[in-house]
Amino acid sequence: MNRLSSYRRGERPASAGGYSRHQPASVGRSPGKILWAGPLLLILAGTIGCHKASPEGKPIEVEPPVSLVNPERRDLHREVGQPGYVFAYEQTSLYPKVAGYIEEWMVDIGDPLKKGQLMARIYVPELHARLREKKADVALDQVRVRLAQRSVDMAQEQLRVAQADIDKYRADVERWQSEVSRLANAKVEGRLVVNEQILAESQRQLELARASLAAAQAHEQVRAVEVAKAKVDVEAAQAQVTVDQAAEEHLAALVSYTKMHAPYDGIVVVRNVNTGDYVEPRYGDASAPLGGIRSETRELGTPLYVVARTDIVRVYVDVPEMEANYVDRGTKARVRIQSLNDEEIEGTVTRTSWALNVQSRTLRAEIDLPNKDARMRPGMYAFGEVEIVRRNSLAVPLEAVIEIGNQNTIYLYEDGKAVRTPVQTGINDNKYIEVFRKKVKDRWEPFTGDEEVILGDLPELRDGEKVRVVHKKGTEKKASKPAVSGKEKR
């Protein structure tokens, strides 16, 4: 009888003692089987020894031997490693902002760069001409501002003259009013003592002074309007200066784009520029991705240069979903660079993506490493490991947990029987596994540490089956209680 057929019949395969748990007392009835059944029964009888024979047709029940352990507090260490690449901390593709011809290029691939260093110059003569024109417009506007200011000064001077005329004519009016009043009141016994013609002349002079005063006042209003207009002309000229200066700055910015500068200290990794090439921002083929990963941004065309910052490099580790919650900034990490004689570099997780990739179900963790000597180069193969530590966690041996129906399960020892119990688990270190809660009567309850967990041939155990507790070496336990503590008694 083979092992598979015994499983199908619900029988247990032969144990180390030479017999099965449910072995019938009668072994077959066909004449062909009687020839070898007799010696086999004699051998089994000698092996069984003092065991009493069971009645006809009833199996001999054998309690499977098991060991017991208690959940204990442990520090679990687990390393999650993934192969990957070394990436530059920053990698910038430099595109032209203006259309023109490459006048000169200064750096090639592999050349070190300093921030602000001139890399290439684009020839765009029309931009320079427009810039000179706009500078001339700004100068002309400034002249117009000065002319408008002089007009203000002239209008203010004429206003002051008009105000002086008003004062003069007001004084004449007062003088002739006084004169007319004096002459009109010069009477003796009710008769005028002055010539009537003199009085009439004085009255005409008074009317003339009043008319001149009114004309001077009207002239003052005109001069005041001229002053206000001249001031508005000054403001308009100044506003035009501002407009033309903004246009000049815009053109100056476009002209500055004809010179391509290094964005930071780094190294040139790609050059797609030659003297006389016509370049435009819109055209060009997509450049090949560096480091094995294509950018998710829209392809704009072929960059003139690609510059990499290498004083710091990044290594990515994709953490599986089950360990994602245990990885955060500051988690210990280690990177092994194969091309550097498998050198291991210690570090920490600098940042995580927080969200998981819906396709791979992994969390992106990035490890930044200093690279001042530039030994680690972008694109190098690297193996990154993230260390997950769970301190003072309740754990049981890994072999005490079995998966049944997509559910992690243990067997608890209760009243001499194996009780199947679903559990919620955490990480494992290949020896012990973290346990959180156990399911008791359709409720999840936390572990207390006093549970007696069964170790043994778990796939062969049945829920509620009686078991026999033994020592590690297989000797039967002689203690009064059927359970043993987590540490073996010797």
Q: 325 in a domain, yes or no?
A: yes
Tens of pLDDT, residues 449-459: 999 999 988 99
- Is 362 found in the same domain as 406? no
- Is 70 found in the same domain as 105? no
**Number of compact structural domains in the chain:** 5
Return the structure tokens found at 152.
Answer: 């203000």
In this predicted structure, the answer to whether residue 163 has a pLDDT above a threshold of 50 is yes
The string over 177-204, giving b where at least 16 C-beta atoms fall within 10 Å of a residue's C-beta and e elsewhere, is: eebbeebeeeeeeeeeeeeeeebeebbe
Least confident among 183-187, 204-208, 368-372, 484-488:
484-488
- Is 438 found in the same domain as 357? no
Predicted pLDDT of residue 186: 65
Element (H, E) at 433: strand 432-440
Residue type, 294: R
Ranges 56-65, 174-183, 362-371, most confident: 362-371
Tens of pLDDT, residues 125-162: 999 999 999 999 999 999 999 998 998 888 888 888 88
- Is 264 found in the same domain as 146? no
Q: 477 in a domain, yes or no?
A: no
User: Of the candidates 87, 77, 85, which has an alpha carbon nearest to the alpha carbon of residue 383?
Assistant: 85
- Is 193 found in the same domain as 180? yes
- Is 325 found in the same domain as 227? no
- Is 245 found in the same domain as 163? yes
First vs last C-alpha separation in the chain: 38
- Is 339 found in the same domain as 269? no
Q: What is the CATH number of the domain that holds 334?
A: 2.40.30.170
User: Of the candidates 388, 329, 406, 453, which has an alpha carbon nearest to the alpha carbon of residue 69?
Assistant: 453
In this predicted structure, the answer to whether residue 475 has a pLDDT above a threshold of 70 is no
Q: Is 3 exposed, middle or buried (0-12, 13-18, 19+ CB in 10 A)?
A: exposed
- Is 237 found in the same domain as 140? yes
Return the structure tokens found at 248.
Answer: 């000049």
In this predicted structure, the answer to whether residue 19 has a pLDDT above a threshold of 50 is no
Residue type, 100: G
Determine contact, residues 88/314, Cβ cutoff 8 Å: yes
- Is 446 found in the same domain as 405? yes
> What's the angle, vertex CA 460, arms to CA 443 and CA 476, rounded to 5?
100
Task: Collapse the DSSP code of 81 into the 3-class scheme (helix H, G, I; strand E, B; otherwise coil) and give the result.
Answer: strand
In this predicted structure, the answer to whether residue 294 has a pLDDT above a threshold of 60 is no
Predicted pLDDT of residue 2: 38
Give percent of the chain above pLDDT 70: 78
User: Of the candidates 11, 27, 1, 26, which has an alpha carbon nearest to the alpha carbon of residue 62?
Assistant: 11
- Is 216 found in the same domain as 267? no
In this predicted structure, the answer to whether residue 484 has a pLDDT above a threshold of 60 is no
Helix 125-184 crosses helix 196-256 at what angle (to 10 degrees)? Answer: 170
Least confident among 65-69, 237-241, 302-306:
302-306
CA distance 200 to 93: 99
Q: 89 in a domain, yes or no?
A: no
**What is the average pLDDT score of the chain?**
79
Q: 488 in a domain, yes or no?
A: no
Q: 313 in a domain, yes or no?
A: yes
Q: What is the CATH number of the domain that holds 187?
A: 1.10.287.1700
Predicted pLDDT of residue 480: 36
Q: 455 in a domain, yes or no?
A: yes
Here the contacts of 289-294 (C-beta below 8 Å, separation 24 or greater) are: 290/91, 290/378, 290/379, 291/85, 291/86, 291/87, 291/88, 291/91, 291/378, 291/379, 292/85, 292/379, 293/85, 293/87
Q: Which of 390, 421, 436 is the last residue of a domain?
A: 390
Q: What is the CATH number of the domain that holds 264?
A: 2.40.50.100
In this predicted structure, the answer to whether residue 108 has a pLDDT above a threshold of 70 is yes
CA distance 324 to 328: 8
Determine contact, residues 90/308, Cβ cutoff 8 Å: yes
- Is 120 found in the same domain as 182? no
pTM, two decimals, is: 0.58
Task: Collapse the DSSP code of 255 into the 3-class scheme (helix H, G, I; strand E, B; otherwise coil) and give the result.
Answer: helix
Q: 53 in a domain, yes or no?
A: no
Determine contact, residues 434/426, Cβ cutoff 8 Å: yes
Tens of pLDDT, residues 28-48: 344 443 334 444 444 444 444
Q: 380 in a domain, yes or no?
A: yes
Q: What is the CATH number of the domain that holds 423?
A: 2.40.420.20
- Top pLDDT among 310 and 22 is at 310
Tens of pLDDT, residues 52-89: 444 555 556 678 999 999 999 999 988 888 898 899 99
DSSP strands (E only) in 273-431: 278-279, 305-320, 332-337, 343-356, 362-370, 381-397, 402-404, 407-414, 417-428
Structural domain including 112 reads 96-124+259-279
